Structure 1
Amino acid sequence: MALGYLALVLHAHLPFVRHPESDYVLEEEWLYEAITETYIPLLQVFNGLKRDGVEFKMTMSMTPPLVSMLRDKLLQERYDEHLTKLEELIQKEIEHNQDNGHIKYLAEYYAQEFSEIRKVWEYYKGDLVTAFKEFQDSNNLEIITCGATHGYLPLMKMYPQAVWAQVEVACAHYEENFGTRPRGIWLPECAYYEGLERMLADAGLRYFLTDGHGLLYARPRPRFGTYAPIFTETGVAVFGRDHESSQQVWSSEVGYPGDPVYREFYKDIGWEADYDYIKPYIMPNGQRKNVGVKYHKITSRQAGLSDKALYDPYWANEKAAEHAGNFLYNRMQQIQHLAGIMQREPIVVSPYDAELYGHWWYEGPKFIDYLFRKAWFDQDTLYMIHLADYLKGHPNQQVAIPSQSSWGYKGFHEYWLNHTNAWIYPHLHKGAEKMINLATKEPEDELQWRALNQAARELLLAQSSDWAFIMRTGTMVPYAERRTKSHLLRLKKLEEDIWSGQIDSGWLEKVEAIDNIFPNINYRVYRPM
C-alpha cells in the first residue's frame, strides 16, 4: 500500500506565431523546435511506456495557442519542410566528418533520431493533438487547458468580461479539440487573484494550480500546506507547487539539467560552421541562428563555449537514469516523512514548463521515461497520479481562500508589470473597454458578424502574457512589441469600421487569414455574465 502520491505536471505552451504573409519568420521556429525536441520525444516516451506495460499517469496542459498551431495545415507543411532540411543537413554532416570519428558518431546519432521523429510525424499525419488525445482517452494523460491566449489574468481583473473571455474561449476551444469540457486549468503563469475561482466554477472547471505560496498563505492556513489540495467555497480545488521537487530540476545551481555530461544548449553549429557551408540552413538574409545540431556537453559551469568538450549520448543517458533514480528516492523519502506527520496520504505536485524537457534539457524526456519505469517497477512507497484521478479518490479537503500569487520572479506580478512593459497595459485596458462595448452590438449582416468576432481575436492575441514576458527578458523585444501593437491597431480599425458601418471587406479577409485562431469564437462572450 503506497503512502502517498507524486503528480508530474507539464505546461505545454507557445504563443500564437503564424505568418502566412511571409515566407520566413524566425519566431515560427519556436514551434518547430518544440515539436522536434519536446512534443514528439514525449510521445515516443509515452508509446514506449504503454508498449512495455507501464501504466503511467501525468497531467499536461496544452494551451489553446499551441493546440491551434499544432493543428494548422500551413504550420504542419512548414514543419515538414523544416524537418526535411534538418535531415538533409545531418546527412551532409556525416559526409563532411568522415575523418572526425566522434563528430561522425554524433552526426549518425542525430540522423537516427531525426529518422525516428519523422516516423512519428508521419504516423500521426502531422496531427500531434490527436496523438496526445489517445493517451488522455486511455487515462494515462490528463490534458488540461489554460487561458485562451495565456493572458495574465490578475492584470485584467478590473474587466471581468475580459477575464471571462480568456477562460470561456479556452474551455470552448478545448471541447472542440478533445470532445469534452476540460476538468482543470493551468492559470497562465500560475497567476491567481481572489475571486477568480468563481469564474472557473462557472466555466465548469474542477481544479487549478498555483505556486506554493498561493496555498501556504491561504485563509485559513491549510493544515497540510502544499501536500494536499484545498477546496475554494465554489468547490474548485487548488493544487500548490512543491518547492523541494521543483528546485531539484529548475535550479540553475543544483538542478539536474546543469550536470557536466548533459548536452550544451548554447553551442550550435549554426553559429560555428563555415559560413558558406551552413548558409543554406540559416536565415534567408544570411544571419546565423541555431539549426538544432549540437556536438558539445556542458563540461563545467565555469567553461566558456570555446572550452566545451564533446558530448556523449551514452553517458548522458546513464546520467539521466541516475538522476531519475535520485529524484524518485528523494520523493519517496519526502512522502514517507510527510505521511508520518500528516497521518494521511500526501500528494507532491511537481509542475514544470514542458519545453524544459527536451528543448532546454535535451535529456529531459529520457529522465521522464526512467522516472516512470522506476516508479512502476522499483518501489511501492508512492503512486504516480494525475490530478483528476487524485480528486476522484479524495473528494473531501479543507476549504480555504488561496493567496494572490504567481510562479514568476518574487512570486507575484512584477515580471509582467515593470519598467520594460508597463506601457502596454493602458492600451490593453482601452482595448478591453472597446471590446466590451462592441459586445453590446447586434450585427447587421454577415460581414459585421465576422468583424466583431475578429475584434475579439485581436484583443485576445494582444493580451498574451508572452509579449510582456519577452519585453522583460530582453530577447526578441522588437517582435513582442510589434505583435502587441499590431493586434491593438487591428482592433482599433475594426472598432471604427463596425461603428461607422463601413467595413473594409478585403482588409478584413486578410486579417482573418493571418490571425485565424478560434474560428468558432462568438464575440458575445464579452457581454456581462
Structure 2
Amino acid sequence: MLSVPAFPFSELRLNLNLVSTCLFSYIWIDIRGGEIYIVSESRPLCGGPVVSNGTVGYADCAEALSLTANELQMRVGKMEEVTGRFLFVLHSHIPYVMNHGAWPHGEHWLFEAAAETYIPLLKMLRRFQGERRTPAISIGMTPVLVEQLKSEGFRERFGEFLDYKLKLATKDVDLLEESGDTRMAALAGRWRNFYLDTAQVFTDVCHGDIIDAFRQLQDEGLVEILTSAATHGYLPLLSRDACVRGQVKAGIDVYERAFGRKPKGIWMPECAYRPAGKWTNPVVPLETFVRKGVDEILVEEGLEYTVIDSPLLGNANLLGVYSDQELDFSKVKFSRTPYLPYRLSSGLQLFVRDHVTGYQVWSRHHGYPGDPYYLEFHKMKDTSGIKFWRITGTDVDLGGKKPYDPEIAESRIKENAEHFAHLANRLMAEFKAKNGGPGVLVAPFDAELFGHWWFEGPEWLYQVLRLLETTDGVVPVTCGEMARVSETAEVIDLPEGSWGENADHSVWLNGKTKWTFLELYPVERKFVLFVQEKQEKWQQDDELRSVLTEAAKSLLIAEASDWQFLIHKGSALDYVEKRFRQHVGEVARFLGMANVLAAGESLTADDRGFVNQCNRDNDCFQNLDLSWWCEDV
C-alpha cells in the first residue's frame, strides 16, 4: 500500500481536495489512530465505506470528499456506539408500456412516475450533494424500468408530455387569474413551476437520460442502486428454473450496461421467495419435480443480499404491504426478531422489513400519506388533470375536498418526519436495551409512493434522512454497507411467501388470475425445451437465433407480475388482459416460426414483418443471450 502523510480528521476535506481523486481510487481510514492515508491500490466497492472489525475500512474518495470528519467516523468506525442502523430501501418499477398505448393506460404511467417520483428523488439526492452530504439510501430499479427510461422513445415523448402539462398549468393560471380566484391561481402557478423545473432538470441535468444521472450519483457514493428480475417476474411462480435464471441474468446484464458495474443487491419482485425442494405445478398439479431455491440462483449469479418481509420469519400472520387495515402491533409475535440481518445456507443475506415503521408510510388511512392537509390524489381539475385539493379527511367524498394549502402541508411534513425519526430511534433503543447490541431497522417501500401517490413524500424522505443523519442514535446505512458488517449473521431457513396479503402468493395466484398461468406455463415449457434441444442449430443460424430472441423478449414481458396484480385489483382490466394475451401469443407464434426454420424451411414475408414489428414495439432487452435459458435442465 502506497501512502502519503496522514491528515487529521479536522483537515479531511481540505487535504483531500488537494489530492486529485483521479490519481487515487480509495482512501484508507484508520479510526483508532485518527489518520487517513491516501492509497493508490483499488478494491471492489459497491456504494460506500467498508467496515472491518468496526474500525478500519476503505472508502471511495468521491464519497469521502462530501463527508465531514464526524460523519465519516459515524459511518465507518465506532459501530459499537450506535443505537442501531437504518436501511431506507425504495423499489422503482413500471411494467413495459413503451409503444403499448399512452393514456389512460400505457406510457402515461411511466411519464407520471418519471415526473412525480424519479426526478424528484434525483433532485433530493442532488440536494444532499450540494450540501456536501451523503445520504444512506438504497434504490432498486427494475431492469425493464431502466430500459424504458433509457429509450429514445421515452426521451422524445416524455419531453412532449412535460410540454403538454406545462401548457395546461399555464392555461389554468390565466383562467383563474381572469376569474379573480387568486388562491387557486397561485396553486396553478406552483404546478406550472413544477413542470418547468422538471423539464429543466430532465434537459440540463439528466441530458435526457435519467438513469445516467442516477449512475453518476451512485459513482459518487450518494446512493446504492439495486437490481431486480428483468420484468419483475414473480420468481416463485415461474414454472422452470431456466425462466427464473433468464429473468435474473437479463436483469444483471441491463444493470451492468446501465451502471457500469456488477450489482450486489437485488430486490426480489414482491419480496417473493421459494426454497429448494419438490415443486408441483399449482394450476395443473400433475407435474412435480425438484427445483433450486430462488436464493440459490441469485447467489450463483453473484448477488449477495435482498429484502424479505417479516412474516416469513415465522409465527406472524400480518397483512401484506398492499393492505390498509388497522393493526395492533403489540399482539404480533415473531419466532425471530426482524431487527437483525440473517443469511440463508446459500449465502444470500436477508434484510427484514419492519412493519411498525412501514405501517406509518404505507397506510393511506392510518399513516402519514392520509394526513388531511396533504394533496388529494384522486381529485383533479377536469380540464387539465391538475390537483388543487387536499385530502381533507379519508371519509370525505371528492365533492367535499378543500383547497390545498402548501404552507400547512410543509409544517405537517416536518411533524411527520420528526415522528418517524423518533419512532425509529425508540425501536432501536428498545432493541439494544433488550438484546445488548444494535439492531437494524429496514424500511422498504415502492418508490412511486413518494411523489406520485404521496406528493409530499420526497420532501418527507429528505427530512427523515437529515434527521437521522444529524442526530446521535440510529445511523442510516445502505444495503451494501450493512452487508459488510453482517457477514456472520445467523443462518436460517425460510418458507415460501411474499410481502403480499397473507404473506403468500394469493395476490398473484387466485381464482381471478389462474387463467394467466394456464396460458403462460405451456409457452414457458415449450420455449425452454426448444432453446435447450436446438442449441446447436440456433447458434449457427442467425435468423433462427433472431426469432428465438424475440420470443425471449416477449416471454419476459408476459412473465411480469404486474398483469396478475392488476387483474387481482380490478385495475385497467381490458388493457392488462389484452397485453398479457398479446405477449403470450407472440411467444407461441415465434416458436412456430422457429420450428419452420429448424426444419430448413423459409419464413413468409408476413412472418418476417411480424418479427420486425415486435422488435420495434418491444424495444427492450436487445442484448439477450439464449444460453441463459440453457443452464438449468
TM range (shorter): over 0.9
Matched-pair contact (CA < 8 Å) for 2:264–2:303: yes
- Confirm or deny that 1:149 pairs with 2:231: yes
What SS is found at the alignment partner of 1:10?
strand
- Confirm or deny that 1:205 pairs with 2:303: yes
Matched-pair contact (CA < 8 Å) for 1:455–1:490: yes
What is the CA distance between 1:217 and its match in structure 2? 5.7
Aligned to 1:74: 153
**2:131 & 2:628 partners in 1: Cα distance?**
46
Aligned to 1:90: 169
Aligned to 2:140: 61
Higher helix share: 1
Aligned to 1:333: 426
May I ask how many residue pairs the two structures share in their alignment?
505
Matched-pair contact (CA < 8 Å) for 2:315–2:335: no
- Confirm or deny that 1:485 pairs with 2:588: no
What is the CA distance between 1:171 and its match in structure 2? 1.1
**2:566 & 2:337 partners in 1: Cα distance?**
33
Q: Decide whether aligned partners of structure 1 residues 313 and 12 sit closer, same or farther in structure 2, where only a CA change above 3 A counts.
A: same
Aligned pairs (5 A) from 1:96-107: 96-98=175-177, 99-107=180-188
What SS is found at the alignment partner of 1:245?
helix
Aligned to 2:91: 11
Q: Which moved more, 1:221-230 or 1:452-461?
A: 221-230
Candidates 208, 228, 238, aligned match of 1:126? 208
What is the CA distance between 1:88 and its match in structure 2? 0.8
**1:215 & 1:465 partners in 2: Cα distance?**
24
What is the CA distance between 1:224 and its match in structure 2? 5.3
Candidates 477, 483, 486, aligned match of 1:385? 477
Aligned to 2:391: 298
User: Alpha-carbon deviations, 1:199-246, whole Å to 9, x = none?
Assistant: 11101000111111123469xx99852111111112110111101010
Matched-pair contact (CA < 8 Å) for 1:222–1:230: no
Aligned pairs (5 A) from 1:418-433: 418-433=510-525
Aligned to 1:284: none
What is the CA distance between 1:475 and its match in structure 2? 1.3
Matched-pair contact (CA < 8 Å) for 2:377–2:387: yes
- Confirm or deny that 1:116 pairs with 2:116: no
Q: Decide whether aligned partners of structure 1 residues 326 and 487 sit closer, same or farther in structure 2, where only a CA change above 3 A counts.
A: same
Candidates 82, 85, 90, aligned match of 1:2? 82
What is the CA distance between 1:438 and its match in structure 2? 2.0
Candidates 240, 245, 261, aligned match of 2:373? 261
What is the CA distance between 1:528 and its match in structure 2? 3.3
Aligned to 1:52: 131
Matched-pair contact (CA < 8 Å) for 1:216–1:226: no
Letter in structure 2 aligned against 1:184? G
- Confirm or deny that 1:316 pairs with 2:402: no
Matched-pair contact (CA < 8 Å) for 1:209–1:239: yes
Candidates 500, 514, 526, aligned match of 1:434? 526
- Ranges in structure 1 where 5+ consecutive residues have no aligned partner: 279-290
Aligned to 1:376: 469
Candidates 443, 447, 451, aligned match of 1:350? 443
Aligned to 1:366: 459
Letter in structure 1 aligned against 2:585? L
**1:511 & 1:45 partners in 2: Cα distance?**
38
**1:118 & 1:244 partners in 2: Cα distance?**
37
**1:353 & 1:394 partners in 2: Cα distance?**
25
**1:528 & 1:428 partners in 2: Cα distance?**
21
User: Alpha-carbon deviations, 1:312-365, whole Å to 9, x = none?
Assistant: 111111111110110000101111100111212100000000010000000000
Aligned pairs (5 A) from 1:387-466: 387-440=479-532, 441=534, 442-443=537-538, 444-466=540-562
What is the CA distance between 1:104 and its match in structure 2? 0.8
What is the CA distance between 1:403 and its match in structure 2? 2.1
Q: Which runs of 4+ in 1 moved over 2 A?
A: 22-26, 215-218, 221-224
**1:237 & 1:394 partners in 2: Cα distance?**
8
**1:262 & 1:209 partners in 2: Cα distance?**
30
Percent identity at matched positions? 31
**1:224 & 1:411 partners in 2: Cα distance?**
16
- Confirm or deny that 1:514 pairs with 2:610: no
Aligned pairs (5 A) from 1:160-179: 160-179=241-260
| Structure possessing the higher radius of gyration over alpha carbons | 2
User: Alpha-carbon deviations, 1:63-122, whole Å to 9, x = none?
Assistant: 011101100111211110000011111111111011101101101111222121111101
**1:223 & 1:142 partners in 2: Cα distance?**
31
Q: Decide whether aligned partners of structure 1 residues 60 and 217 sit closer, same or farther in structure 2, where only a CA change above 3 A counts.
A: farther
What is the CA distance between 1:196 and its match in structure 2? 1.4
Matched-pair contact (CA < 8 Å) for 1:447–1:505: no
Matched-pair contact (CA < 8 Å) for 1:222–1:400: no
Aligned to 1:29: 108
- Confirm or deny that 1:248 pairs with 2:346: no
CA RMSD of aligned residues (A): 1.7
- Confirm or deny that 1:476 pairs with 2:572: yes
Aligned to 1:500: 596
Matched-pair contact (CA < 8 Å) for 1:54–1:376: no
What SS is found at the alignment partner of 2:615?
helix
Aligned to 1:286: none
Letter in structure 1 aligned against 2:608? S
Aligned to 1:527: 630
What is the CA distance between 1:395 and its match in structure 2? 2.0
**2:245 & 2:315 partners in 1: Cα distance?**
25
Q: Which moved more, 1:37-46 or 1:208-217?
A: 208-217
Higher relative contact order (CA 8 A, sep 6+): 1
Could you state the TM-score of these two structures normalised by the residue count of structure 2?
0.78
**1:421 & 1:222 partners in 2: Cα distance?**
31
Aligned to 1:288: none
**1:511 & 1:253 partners in 2: Cα distance?**
43
Letter in structure 1 aligned against 2:295? E
Q: Decide whether aligned partners of structure 1 residues 54 and 404 sit closer, same or farther in structure 2, where only a CA change above 3 A counts.
A: same
What is the CA distance between 1:24 and its match in structure 2? 6.4
What SS is found at the alignment partner of 1:416?
coil
Could you state the TM-score of these two structures normalised by the residue count of structure 1?
0.93
**2:549 & 2:526 partners in 1: Cα distance?**
13
Q: Decide whether aligned partners of structure 1 residues 69 and 132 sit closer, same or farther in structure 2, where only a CA change above 3 A counts.
A: same
Letter in structure 2 aligned against 1:424? T
Matched-pair contact (CA < 8 Å) for 1:458–1:515: yes
User: Alpha-carbon deviations, 1:238-288, whole Å to 9, x = none?
Assistant: 11110101011112332100000000000011x3x4xxxx5xxxxxxxxxx
Matched-pair contact (CA < 8 Å) for 1:106–1:295: yes
**1:199 & 1:330 partners in 2: Cα distance?**
37
**2:421 & 2:557 partners in 1: Cα distance?**
40
